[in-house]
């Protein structure tokens, strides 16, 4: 069934797996043309073929790019402009976490990589999309943050710090880009992805027992929220962070 998103173009970073892949499929189902970006072309091509097979009426473009490298990001946005004439939806999803441990042992190279991919890329890709077309024609941006950006957590404190920055950047960009461009974020709890594997793989039963909704998230749970945030039903929302966590943030405190 056609939706108000049919015919629009969505660019998704980190689209070769996990949440990014699920969002790409969900937007294609809405009739969006999709531009898939991540580091590895072969993985992107496989996802592109899967989307084409399921949704032959939408355009699909797969373009490898490192999200934190300005020239590669620019080439990806330029390719989207050349192929589809514009970008209506930007999903800043790409993320990394090269370090697990206390902040007092964090080294500079891994700190810099985490900031480059998780935090700076949000600004970079937003700049490119806005200057390419969104400033003139409008658009919507969804940034994938994390529940960890709202609460402290052992082991992934620096990753969470960059996600807290994404939440603030969402508010700042929403203020700066209104009314032409709406900017919102999603803060997922633990989702069954490769990036979050260490958080769930060996203790999923214990984790789910502690969640009010008794299961960890699936990429499709986040994709549904993304479709809402880029669609007409959220047209009076900007600068907000939507928490999708299975109820983790409303668990009673143990005293």
Q: Which domains does the chain have, with CATH numbers?
A: 9-243 (3.40.50.720)
Tokens of 79: 């390719």
Tokens of 185: 């974020």
The verdict on whether 99 is a catalytic residue reads no
| pLDDT tens series, the chain, 255 aa | 558 999 999 999 999 999 999 999 999 999 999 999 999 999 999 999 999 999 999 999 999 999 999 999 999 999 999 999 999 999 999 999 999 999 999 999 999 999 999 999 999 999 999 999 999 999 999 999 999 999 998 999 999 999 999 999 999 999 999 999 999 999 999 998 777 666 656 777 788 888 889 888 899 999 999 999 999 999 999 999 999 999 999 887 654
Of 90, 84, 75, the C-alpha closest to 14 is: 90
**Are the CB atoms for 197 and 205 separated by under 8 Å?**
no
Q: What is the pLDDT of residue 148?
A: 94
Rounded Cα–Cα distance for residues 4 and 124 (Å): 28
DSSP 65-108: --TT-HHHHHHHHHHHHHHHS--SEEEE--------S-GGG--H
Rounded Cα–Cα distance for residues 109 and 251 (Å): 36
Of 112, 120, 15, the C-alpha closest to 70 is: 120
Tokens of 175: 């203020």
Of 26, 121, 105, the C-alpha closest to 73 is: 121
Catalytic one among 99, 100, 158, 159?
A: 159
């Amino acid at each position: 069934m056609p939706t108000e998103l049919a015919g629009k173009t969505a660019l998704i970073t980190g689209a070769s797996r996990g949440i990014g892949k699920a969002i790409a499929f969900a937007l294609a189902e809405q009739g969006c043309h999709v531009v898939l970006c991540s580091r590895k072309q072969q993985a992107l091509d496989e996802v592109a073929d899967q989307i084409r097979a399921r949704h032959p009426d939408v355009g699909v473009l797969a373009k490898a790019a490192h999200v934190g490298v300005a020239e590669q990001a620019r080439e990806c946005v330029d390719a989207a402009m050349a192929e589809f004439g514009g970008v209506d939806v930007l999903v800043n999803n790409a993320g990394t976490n090269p370090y697990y441990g206390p902040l007092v042992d964090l080294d500079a190279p891994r700190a810099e990589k985490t900031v480059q991919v998780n935090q700076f890329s949000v600004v970079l890709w937003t700049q490119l999309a806005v200057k390419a077309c969104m400033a003139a024609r409008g658009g919507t941006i969804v940034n994938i943050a994390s529940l960890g950006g709202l609460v402290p957590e052992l082991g992934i404190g620096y990753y969470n710090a960059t996600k807290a920055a994404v939440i603030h950047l969402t508010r700042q960009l929403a203020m700066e880009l209104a009314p032409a461009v709406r900017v919102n974020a999603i803060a997922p709890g633990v989702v069954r992805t490769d990036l979050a594997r260490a958080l769930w793989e060996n203790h999923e039963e214990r984790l789910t027992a502690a969640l009010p909704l008794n299961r960890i998230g699936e990429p499709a749970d986040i994709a549904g929220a993304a479709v809402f945030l880029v669609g007409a039903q959220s047209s009076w929302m900007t600068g907000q962070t939507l928490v999708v966590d299975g109820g983790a943030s409303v668990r009673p405190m143990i005293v």
